[in-house]
Amino acid sequence: MKIALLGYGKMGKAIEKIALSRGHDIVIKTSDEGGYDISQADVAIDFSVPNAAFYNIVNCFKHNVPVISGTTGWLQNYDKAVELCKENNGAFIYASNFSLGVNIFFELNKNLARMMSQLRDYDVSMEEVHHTQKLDAPSGTAITLAEDIISEHANYTEWKLETGREGIIPITAKRIENVPGTHSIDYKSEVDTINITHTAHSRQGFALGAVVAAEWLLGKTGVFTMKDVLNIG
Ligand SMILES: NC(=O)C1=CN([C@@H]2O[C@H](COP(=O)(O)OP(=O)(O)OC[C@H]3O[C@@H](n4cnc5c(N)ncnc54)[C@H](O)[C@@H]3O)[C@@H](O)[C@H]2O)C=CC1
Ligand SMILES: O=C(O)C1=N[C@H](C(=O)O)C[C@H](O)C1
């Protein structure tokens, strides 16, 4: 597969290593908005920055190049991207987190929220920890986790950074040097705490998931998620 890497930072470099080890070619690696011919690529993988992702994705649709997006912090434009994908008969997967472990964790979180919805003595809270270069807060993964709790738990309708009021899931975002990504959910009552945590030890799991998703997407049209790729949940 000929792969375009849109965003050649920490993730772009980790994806390059895994893609090469799986026999793919990298035909474009860029950290700029333009200056390349995207139609050379069989598939594009965008891990760029929040204000570039939407443009990069739509450019792929216009040139009939399937696109994987892992960039977080641009989701106010997600619905528009889905619409444009359909209009252009394109192929698109966005995931706030491509690692297999986190996608299992997403399912665990939904199941736990469904059970905890019956037990009104517990209050939920969430913490995410990432490296200090991260541009967005809370993380895309934390937002997915919070939205999944809201969809399964009768008590919660919103999430907010660092606040805790009735009906609101409080999310604490910490930035500590070199942390690849840790997400933790607590249900606390007066008598005990139930905790689930996912800890990434490196970026390898995210990068492998993105390459597997690109391999899966090739030859398909439509908008998909990692649940389709991994066939879980
Ligand atoms: N979905 C997932 O599994 C994961 C998502 N991420 C997300 O991926 C994104 C990138 O993360 P990192 O590689 O750690 O960041 P990074 O800062 O190391 O790399 C981003 C790169 O994009 C470049 N860039 C800036 N404007 C661009 C443009 N117009 N087009 C293409 N590239 C452009 C920057 O110069 C930089 O080299 C972030 O939004 C992060 O939250 C990170 C890890 C896993
Ligand atoms: O910026 C990162 O590094 C990460 N971003 C993603 C997010 O915002 O959830 C995924 C992962 O946690 C690493």
| DSSP secondary structure of 107-142 | HHHHHHHHHHTT-TT-EEEEEEEE-TT--SSS-HHH
State the distance from the centre of ligand 2 to the C-alpha of 118, rounded, in angstroms: 31
Please state the pTM of the whole predicted model: 0.97
Phi-psi region of 125 (alpha: psi -120 to 50; beta: other; left: phi over 0): beta
pLDDT tens-digit profile of 204-232? 999 999 999 999 999 999 999 999 999 98
Q: How far is CA 114 from CA 144, 152, 155, in A?
A: 15, 5, 11
Q: Is 3.30.360.10 the CATH classification of the domain at 100-200?
A: yes
If pLDDT is split at 50, 70 and 90, which confidence band does 165 have?
Answer: confident
Rounded distance between C-alpha atoms, residue 98 and residue 174, angstroms: 21
* Cβ atoms of 68 and 209 closer than 8 Å: no
Residues lining ligand 2, CB < 6 A? 72, 96-97, 130, 134, 139-141, 181
In the chain, what are the domain boundaries?
2-94+204-230, 100-200
Is the interface score ipTM higher than 0.95? yes
Residues in the chain: 233
Q: Is residue 183 annotated as part of the catalytic site, yes or no?
A: no
Domain 2-94+204-230 classification at class level:
alpha beta
Whole-number pLDDT of residue 203: 98
pLDDT tens-digit profile of 62-112? 999 999 999 999 999 999 999 999 999 999 999 999 999 999 999 999 999
Whole-number pLDDT of residue 166: 79
Q: Is residue 24 annotated as part of the catalytic site, yes or no?
A: no
* Cβ atoms of 58 and 18 closer than 8 Å: no
